Structure 1
Amino acid sequence: MPSKHIEIKTFKLAHSSDDTVKIEHVEKPYGEYSSPVVSIAIYSHGKEKTAEVEIPYENIEEFFKALNESVAMCDSIPRSELHGELNANVGGGA
């Protein structure tokens, strides 16, 4: 029996014009007796899959913990205010 993909959510990827992230639950990803996984895929222009990771549900809590640690580390790094050098809310062009 082939794998079954159930779409959970699709959303626009930040800092891109039309790339998307698609989250899916996948039943029998590697054959009849394989355990389900979560698929996280990036689609370029909303159509062409350019990257994908499949995470077994047994690793989801550890995955969430690592994501939260990554966000905390990112938040701890000082950065300049977005477009602060322009004293404006949006960037300029050349």
Structure 2
Amino acid sequence: MPAKHIEVKTFKLAHTTDDVVKIEHVEKPYGEYSSPVVSIAVYSHGKTKVSEVEIPYENIQEFLKALNESIALCESIPHNPIHGELNSEIGGGA
């Protein structure tokens, strides 16, 4: 039986025009007796998969803890306002 992908959530990737992140629950990802995983994939233009990570459910709590630690680290480092050099809410371009 092939892997079964069940979509959990899809959302727009920040700072892009049409890239999305898709979160899926995957049953039997590596064959009949494999344990389910969470798939986190980025799709360019909403269609072409450009990256993916599959995380076993046994590692989800540790993964979430690491994400929260990363957020705290980012918030502890001073950053310039996004597009501050343009004095604008959005980026430039031709």
TM beyond 0.5: yes
Larger Rg computed on CA atoms: 1
Aligned-partner Cα distance in 2 for 1:90–1:50: 25
Q: CA deviation at 1:15?
A: 0.4
Aligned-partner Cα distance in 1 for 2:70–2:40: 17
Distance 1:46 1:87, change over 3 A: closer
Secondary structure of the corresponding residue to residue 70 of structure 1: helix
For the pair 1:27 / 2:59, whether they are aligned, the reply is no
Q: CA deviation at 1:80?
A: 2.0
TM, length-normalised to structure 2: 0.90
User: Aligned letter for 1:12?
Assistant: K
Aligned-partner Cα distance in 1 for 2:32–2:66: 30
Secondary structure of the corresponding residue to residue 17 of structure 2: coil
Unaligned segments of structure 1, at least 5 residues: none
Q: CA deviation at 1:79?
A: 1.4
Q: Which deviates more from structure 2 when the two are superposed, residues 80-89 or residues 46-55?
A: 80-89
TM, length-normalised to structure 1: 0.90
- Percent identity of paired positions between Structure 1 and Structure 2: 78
The CA RMSD over aligned residues, in Å, is: 1.6
User: Aligned letter for 2:56?
Assistant: P
Match for residue 50 of structure 1?
50
Distance 1:17 1:91, change over 3 A: closer
User: Aligned letter for 1:15?
Assistant: H
